[in-house]
A and B are shown apart, each in its own frame.
Chain A
């Protein structure tokens, strides 16, 4: 694929970020794979497959594109749209067992949130290995004989990722503004779109500056502090926008009370949409749209056998293995986004979501219902089984 074509799809699908775009499923040979070549699985989101092929150029790999319903791997796995059944289907129907001598399949680490490695092994005989978070790290991962460095298992939110997210939000909010203003005030569409873009790009660009406001220490008051941090930031954004509006009004000499009211309301609307689930728009914080706010991940040291799978699949590197006891310890609970990958993968059921007063959501229930504190998929209240 030419760089131009890739660039076209990259921009288009980055803007349309929240829409699923399915790609053909099945086996793809990259380079000239032989009987010892690694077998890699990915989801069938169009842009994902493009990115994977691009990152793997020059390697010799079998790529299984499994059915994630046109959604990226992490979101699909969290939402229950990409499960072990899709992987089993990709393994069995591609007849990959006739093409290689080994029986190890490498899955994207972020899929650990919704795919049970144990079931894949039981039903297909294939062993699951959790690959790097970023496909760009894959060549280095292969060079290290399929060993991950700590950096390879951590989710980041670099400038590029933030700008991608900003572009997607700016696009969708602009669509809403365009639709509404085309009826009310067509002449203001242009300035409104510019305002939305500036606000959105500013918020995501400045994210590292206020990350600590949204991720305070101390679990108990986390949510109150989070709200305070967000409010401060929201007010700050609004002041900036209003200053911009005033300047714009002075510059075009159209400053009037109606002008200020209109742009004031428009910017408040845009800022509220953007900050509504600001945390959930980043991979580093817990979404605010969830019910189980009191719950957090907890290790039961009586059940833990120290096999370290929690550490291997944690996208924020929260776990350590205690040097003396060799048991898992949730060393950085403040960083935990409660995605639940560790709970799903632990074969000893040593992890669970636990709240005060001994309320606990069991691992089996979490696996079945894809309960995740970072996602929005959650069981109805009456379905929550608490023990």
Chain B
């Protein structure tokens, strides 16, 4: 789904982001998100990295979790906030405008789950490495790391196909929105190296949208 690049278009107009993403992913994202939060329970403490308009945040809060949702885009946060107000979930959610580089201020082992939807692929390499390390630190033992994101496909032909479409889309999206995204590479092995055990992993047909549930290794501090 190189069309996920197009989400950049909608980020420019946060008001349309949700509708746009639903359209781009043919609705498969909703299903993925619903399944992703299956492991989140009532009273769980959850961190949403790059909450955007709050798709995962609201879902988790509806299950009774206490969520801290962070994002660097204040306009997206505004939309997420108003969605939380509409669903009467404001007591359960704390929205903070901050980037992943500031996760260092979170205490050790306080979260039951950390989730992230379509955010990790927007980070720089240093940020991604840092996030994996920090998530492992702030999760409780046996805590879950839940990720949905765009990845580079494994098969050669898919790679070629996606590479071609991405380059065309890149130009097009850039001309309108002035920005672009990068898909994650070798994400599974990175996450294992960071001390997680992959519990379940689901790739879409196009092999480029990954939904992953990982558990923090027990022997990690």
Report B-chain residues with C-beta under 8 Å of the C-beta of A22: 180
Report B-chain residues with C-beta under 8 Å of the C-beta of A89: 99-101, 124, 126-127
Sorting the interface of chain B by its residue count into under 10, 10 to 19, 20 to 34 or 35 or more gives 20 to 34
Given the known inter-chain contacts A70-B180, A89-B99, please indicate yes or no for A369 contacting B127, CB distance below 8 A.
no
Report B-chain residues with C-beta under 8 Å of the C-beta of A67: 124, 127
Q: When the two chains form their complex, are residues A380 and B13 in contact, meaning their CB atoms are under 8 A apart? A: yes
Within 8 Å by CB of B130, from A85, A86, A93, A380, lies A93
Sorting the interface of chain A by its residue count into under 10, 10 to 19, 20 to 34 or 35 or more gives 20 to 34
User: With A and B bound together, what is the CA distance between A75 and B174 in angstroms?
Assistant: 13
Q: When the two chains form their complex, are residues A88 and B171 in contact, meaning their CB atoms are under 8 A apart? A: no
- Is residue A133 contacting chain B, with contact meaning CB distance below 8 A? no
Report A-chain residues with C-beta under 8 Å of the C-beta of B12: 377
Q: When the two chains form their complex, are residues B99 and A69 in contact, meaning their CB atoms are under 8 A apart? A: no
- Is residue B27 contacting chain A, with contact meaning CB distance below 8 A? no
- Is residue A25 contacting chain B, with contact meaning CB distance below 8 A? yes
Write the nearest CB–CB distance from A251 to chain B, whole angstroms: 37
User: With A and B bound together, what is the CA distance between A93 and B98 in angstroms?
Assistant: 14
- Is residue A113 contacting chain B, with contact meaning CB distance below 8 A? no
Mask, A356-387, CB within 8 Å of B = 1, is 00000000000011000000010010010000
Report B-chain residues with C-beta under 8 Å of the C-beta of A383: 15
Q: When the two chains form their complex, are residues A24 and B125 in contact, meaning their CB atoms are under 8 A apart? A: yes
Q: When the two chains form their complex, are residues A19 and B174 in contact, meaning their CB atoms are under 8 A apart? A: yes
Tell me which residues from 171 to 211 in chain B have a Cβ below 8 Å from any Cβ of chain A.
171, 174-175, 178-180
Q: When the two chains form their complex, are residues B180 and A85 in contact, meaning their CB atoms are under 8 A apart? A: no
Interface majority SS (helix, strand, loop, mixed), chain B: helix
Write the nearest CB–CB distance from A375 to chain B, whole angstroms: 10
Report A-chain residues with C-beta under 8 Å of the C-beta of B179: 20, 69, 71, 79, 81
User: With A and B bound together, what is the CA distance between A22 and B73 in angstroms?
Assistant: 20
- Is residue A333 contacting chain B, with contact meaning CB distance below 8 A? no
Q: When the two chains form their complex, are residues A368 and B75 in contact, meaning their CB atoms are under 8 A apart? A: yes
User: With A and B bound together, what is the CA distance between A66 and B151 in angstroms?
Assistant: 23
Q: When the two chains form their complex, are residues A380 and B15 in contact, meaning their CB atoms are under 8 A apart? A: yes
Report A-chain residues with C-beta under 8 Å of the C-beta of B99: 85-86, 88-89
Within 8 Å by CB of A368, from B74, B101, B102, B130, lies B74
Within 8 Å by CB of B126, from A19, A93, A380, lies A93
- Is residue B132 contacting chain A, with contact meaning CB distance below 8 A? no
User: With A and B bound together, what is the CA distance between A83 and B125 in angstroms?
Assistant: 18
Report B-chain residues with C-beta under 8 Å of the C-beta of A93: 101, 126-127, 130
> B residues within 8 Å of A by Cβ?
12-13, 15, 72-75, 78, 98-102, 104, 124-127, 130, 171, 174-175, 178-180
4 further interface pairs, Cβ-Cβ under 8 Å (given A19-B171, A22-B180, A91-B101): A69-B180, A86-B99, A92-B101, A368-B78
